[in-house]
Structures are given as C-alpha cells and as structure tokens.
Structure 1
C-alpha cells in the first residue's frame, strides 16, 4: 500500500489548459473524491495518475516513487473504469485474472488470488459466467475484483456508479466504501455526483476550470464553502445578493435586512443559506410569501418570496395536525433562520480557459 502525491500536475492542449497545477497529498488508506461538473478537469487528472495521459508539467508520486513517466502497468495502480471495460468473451474469473496473466503470475498463485478477489466482492459462485449473464451491479463487482486482484498501491475509480440505477448506486457505493476501509486502500475517485462524494469520501476536492477550489471533509465543504461555486455545487444553497452591514446583518439587494453569521473576514460577496436551515411558518403579518409547496414524502419543499428574492426551504414533512401542512401558494409566511446558519462568502472566480 502507499500514498499518492500530485505535485503541480498540469495538462495543456495547445492554448487550452485542462488541468492547472493540481497539488494534492492523499494519505495511506484515505479515499479522496475529485468532484466537479463535466469539463472541470477531474477525469483528466485521474487519467494522468493512471498513466493514460502524459502531464504537461508536474509529478505523480506513489509511495514515495516518482511514476510520472512510467507506463500504466508499471505504476502499481488498479483502475475501475466507468464502462467496466470487461471482456465479453471471457468468464468472470478470466476477466479478474487478466492483469495477473499480463504480469506473468503463475497459474496456482493466479487461481488463488482470483478466488480471493471474487470472495471479497461476493461473486465466488459466479466465476464461470460471462459478463452478459450478470446484472449491472455484478459487472461492477467484477471490475472491482479485477482492480483489487493485482494488490495495487493506489486504487483509482472513474465514475464507478454512474451506470447503475439509484437503488444500486447506494448499495454498491456502500460496498465499495466498506471494502476500501477494510483493505486500507489508498483511493482516488472521480465523480460528478455530490451525494456520492459526500457519502463515500474522507475528503473532497472540488474542481472548476482545471483548478482546485477547495479541499476538505464533507462537513468542511458543506458548512464552510470557500466561495459561491462550492456552496452551490456541494448540496443545495440559496445565494442572495447584497452587502454586509455591521457584524451580523446582511442587507439584501431589495433593501430588506436579514441576519447573518458574524465573520469579520467575510466583508463582501453573497449570503449563503442552506434550504434546511430556513424555518417557515404561517403568519398573516409575515414578510414572506409562499410561491409553491412541493410534497416529497418524507420532506416538503417551500418555494418562497422574501422581499423580492426567490429562495427555497426544505423541512421534514409536517404531521397532519401541523398548521404548515395546510400552507398553499400565495399564503403569507414568516421566514426565519438563526444568524450562524447564513454565511457571507466571496463569489467564485471564473477565469478563461
């Protein structure tokens, strides 16, 4: 096992910069997720780590060894591809053992390691089946076993759950996380799915325009986003224009004053308030108005007008005898939150690529 260090990793295509000087230190046994929209550079970064793309500048260091110029098979990595990339004409066992065969591992040792890898992913009873005879979740487990069987120092996951339906994504994601923790695998994962990243990763790396905007735990990024891009990308967030007035007052563009967290370091920008931190109650004298209410089973969404600003609040669905259960579009409401729930944060920069 080992650590993974990215030192100034950069990729340029002519005048365009796809990845701009990424610095990242992944500790032994840590799962780090690269998170961002399509085109942000996360997949290019992963493929440079794997050796499929040559960096324009910077280094990839695995377990203290500079592997930047080594071919993929010499890097001691195991990769799970978004498409699984299974050989359709080969059995499950042969797919899993392909990397070992390429490494000239003897048959007895190869059979032992294949059996162990299939046991880890609970597919030992399906060793003789072809990929087309498996479900999507089972094919994903075969891809995992194939990456694990070579005992990689670094485990690489490229959108590992994107081809699964919602129920399977949750189940397989939990299985990958449990397996990664049990085996102590140093892991770098790419995903565009914020919920997937929040649920699986020890740390998240939010990228935009090839740059790293913020690195931290799920709580760090959700509770203390560095800028408006991170706030809006990691979870839902209301972002309101205006200016800070005093320590704990924010003046909206409409002129209304609302509470905010006292923070001398954040003098300007936008007010960020998560939907679940907003309380809504019927109030004939309320300064807000309900634009729409959406019942979503366990939770209810309230689309609100606050002094001309459109915001969204989310709460557990009220019980039948709760007055909020009878709220309807057009009703006046009281909209409140505690000051510490609303933070003034800077706007994200959007450089030309």
Structure 2
C-alpha cells in the first residue's frame, strides 16, 4: 500500500487553475520530488497534502486513511517550511517541542523526543540557544528536528534549502537524504532546483501549469523525456522544431536536415539532443558546420556555444588536454558537429515550447 496517495487532486482559485487532476503514489520509505518552475503548482500540491490548502476536488490518503478534509494536526505529517518558521523567542529545544505540546504529549515523553530529534540532526549541544544565535544551516536542522520529533508518517519539505548558500546547500541535501534513508521516512519534497531533485529523490514528478507531465527516476526523465518541456527542464538539451519526412530525415524549420532513429514517425516533431552527446571538431569537417559564439570553462566540463545557420547549439565535454587543438579554439572559429543518431530523441511537437533556443 502506498503511504501517500493523491487521486485526481485539484485546486482552483476562482477561475485560475493552480493544480489540475494530480494522481500520485509515494511508497513507504520513498523520497519523491515535485519539480518545476515557479507557479507550476508544486507548492500548492504540497500544502494540500499538509492540510493548509483545501482541495477543490480529489482525494488525499495517508496510510490508507482519507485525510482530504482533516486539519493539519490530524494528518500525521511533519513539515519543513521554506522560511523554517522558527519562533525567535523560543530556544532550540522549545521550538522542537512545540508540535509535541500541541499534540498534548506528557513532559517526559516530550523531553525524550526532543533530545532524540536533536541528536539525529547533531544539535543536542545547542538545545538552549535561540534561533538568532544559530547559522542558517543550523536553523534549517532545527526545523528538520521539529518535523521529525512528531514521528510523522509522511515527511513534507517545501524548498528546504533555498535560503542556504551553494556549498552549504550541497552538504545539507546529502544530510537530509542520509537521514531520510536511515529512518525510512516517506517523503515528499518541493524544489525548483533540478540538481537538488536529481541527487535526493528516488523518483521525480515534473509539473508545469498545474499538471504532472512525467513521473520517473532521474535516469528515466533524463534519457527518455516525455516531451520538450521535460527534456529542457531536467538537464540541458538542444531542442529543434521541425518535421520528419517520409525518408525519416528531420527537416529543421530553419532548413537543416538530420538523420533520425529508424523508429521515427513522419510528421511535426521536436529533435532533442543532449549537449554531452555532441562531438565537436575544429575547422570545417564532414559534420554540421558551425561557428563558436562562446566558450565557458566550468571546471569538470567546458561548454561550447555554437551557431549553426543562425541557431544555437550547445556542446558539453570534459576540458581538452593542453596539447589538443580544441584548446586553441576561440570565439568565431569554425567547427563541425557530429553525433550518434542513437542519442537523438524525437519528441511530440508542442507549439508553446521554447524550441530551437540555445540551452
């Protein structure tokens, strides 16, 4: 049985549709990430699960029990808010104890649970401090401890790392994932950060405009995106609008022509190709002719932005050796591009997508 099940969940604010018919099951001990741009409906979905927003339609089940219209305190959930929502006048221990007091637990049990939760997040030595005396990372862990102290059936996190700097964010997301796995917590996390979702989640749910576009593992979404939006949002991708002719050649809207996999069906389509699957050679070769418009060194990879007949192509590869001709490439130099046709994905045509734009 799924620990959390959403059936045809929807939320309308007047005539505006925030969430439309979301169906999702989160298994016991699984971490699922709701991923998408701002305004896609992911936070509204999470807040409906928590009980802070009343659904317009649909059903929410936790542990097989219908909690669609139950108040937040009756849902057996623990939530970490984006702002942490710590009480500034309360000590760390008092903040962690607050939810337990609302559940009317006895003092001895409260103190035991607070101590246990603070040990889990390695803050038991700071129990008497006030939130203002803590770093951002420590405040975030207090919020985690407060949610964990109630022993929730479902753990909810709303952009929990957005207020941390990049280095701390990387460290804390690993801590959260390790803690979630060690405790076997059924977890739903909201994020707009694809790297965060890819490194933490067992499965990802990509949303846009209130709808679920695709659900799957990071590998499934990256290698087999359902559409151009997913391809462009999970990782980076060269997306080109055009059509497949009867000979299974992809004819770009701007005039280029590329081979497609044998299974491709003639008609309007989107040509999708990941930047790391493109090979680049200096000078005019037998591949697709282009010209360098920018080179970006990112440490583990170098990115080459290439103009092909007025359209942007992105190529990503490890930095070349010092003696490689690629090292000598500069902006405006001619290059040729090539790729294995097996790396190409042909996706459904979607007029609203940002197709053909440089990633």
Of the structure 1 ranges 55-64 and 337-346, higher mean CA displacement relative to structure 2 is found in 337-346
**Residue in 2 aligned with 1:176?**
176
**Residue in 2 aligned with 1:80?**
80
**Residue in 2 aligned with 1:339?**
341
* Contact 2:264–2:346 under 8 Å retained in 1: no
Q: Whole-Å Cα distance in 2 between the matches of residues 330 and 69 of structure 1?
A: 61
* Contact 2:279–2:338 under 8 Å retained in 1: yes
SS class of match (2:6): strand
**Residue in 1 aligned with 2:121?**
121
**TM-score, reference length from structure 1:** 0.95
Distance 1:349 1:125, change over 3 A: farther
Of the structure 1 ranges 80-89 and 300-309, higher mean CA displacement relative to structure 2 is found in 300-309
Of the structure 1 ranges 118-127 and 249-258, higher mean CA displacement relative to structure 2 is found in 249-258
Q: Whole-Å Cα distance in 1 between the matches of residues 293 and 69 of structure 2?
A: 58
**Residue in 2 aligned with 1:317?**
319
**Residue in 2 aligned with 1:162?**
162
SS class of match (1:329): coil
1:16-165 → structure 2 map (5 Å cutoff):
16-165=16-165
Deviation at residue 348 of structure 1 after TM alignment:
4.1
Distance 1:266 1:284, change over 3 A: closer
SS class of match (2:235): coil
Q: Whole-Å Cα distance in 2 between the matches of residues 219 and 267 of structure 1?
A: 27
Distance 1:2 1:240, change over 3 A: closer
* Contact 2:33–2:190 under 8 Å retained in 1: yes
* Contact 1:299–1:314 under 8 Å retained in 2: yes
Deviation at residue 341 of structure 1 after TM alignment:
1.3
1:166-205 → structure 2 map (5 Å cutoff):
166-205=166-205
**TM-score, reference length from structure 2:** 0.94
Deviation at residue 2 of structure 1 after TM alignment:
6.8
Deviation at residue 296 of structure 1 after TM alignment:
2.4
Distance 1:165 1:185, change over 3 A: same
Of the structure 1 ranges 174-183 and 262-271, higher mean CA displacement relative to structure 2 is found in 262-271
Aligned residues: 351
Deviation at residue 329 of structure 1 after TM alignment:
1.4
Deviation at residue 108 of structure 1 after TM alignment:
1.2
SS class of match (2:294): strand
- CA offsets per residue over residues 122-179 of structure 1, 9 Å max, x none? 1111111111111101100000000000000000000010000000111000100111
Ranges in structure 1 where 5+ consecutive residues have no aligned partner = none
- CA offsets per residue over residues 2-23 of structure 1, 9 Å max, x none? 7000011111111111111110
Q: Whole-Å Cα distance in 1 between the matches of residues 220 and 350 of structure 2?
A: 17
Of the structure 1 ranges 62-71 and 309-318, higher mean CA displacement relative to structure 2 is found in 309-318
Of the structure 1 ranges 303-312 and 54-63, higher mean CA displacement relative to structure 2 is found in 303-312
Q: Whole-Å Cα distance in 2 between the matches of residues 138 and 4 of structure 1?
A: 29
SS class of match (2:85): coil
**Residue in 2 aligned with 1:255?**
255
* Contact 1:91–1:131 under 8 Å retained in 2: yes
Ranges in structure 2 where 5+ consecutive residues have no aligned partner = 354-359
Distance 1:84 1:150, change over 3 A: same
Q: Whole-Å Cα distance in 1 between the matches of residues 275 and 313 of structure 2?
A: 8
* Contact 1:268–1:344 under 8 Å retained in 2: no
SS class of match (2:70): coil
**Residue in 1 aligned with 2:328?**
326
**Residue in 2 aligned with 1:271?**
271
1:296 paired residue among 298, 307, 312? 298
Deviation at residue 241 of structure 1 after TM alignment:
1.9
Q: Whole-Å Cα distance in 2 between the matches of residues 247 and 30 of structure 1?
A: 45
Deviation at residue 263 of structure 1 after TM alignment:
2.8
Deviation at residue 247 of structure 1 after TM alignment:
6.8
Q: Whole-Å Cα distance in 2 between the matches of residues 252 and 217 of structure 1?
A: 31
Distance 1:284 1:132, change over 3 A: same
**Residue in 1 aligned with 2:7?**
7
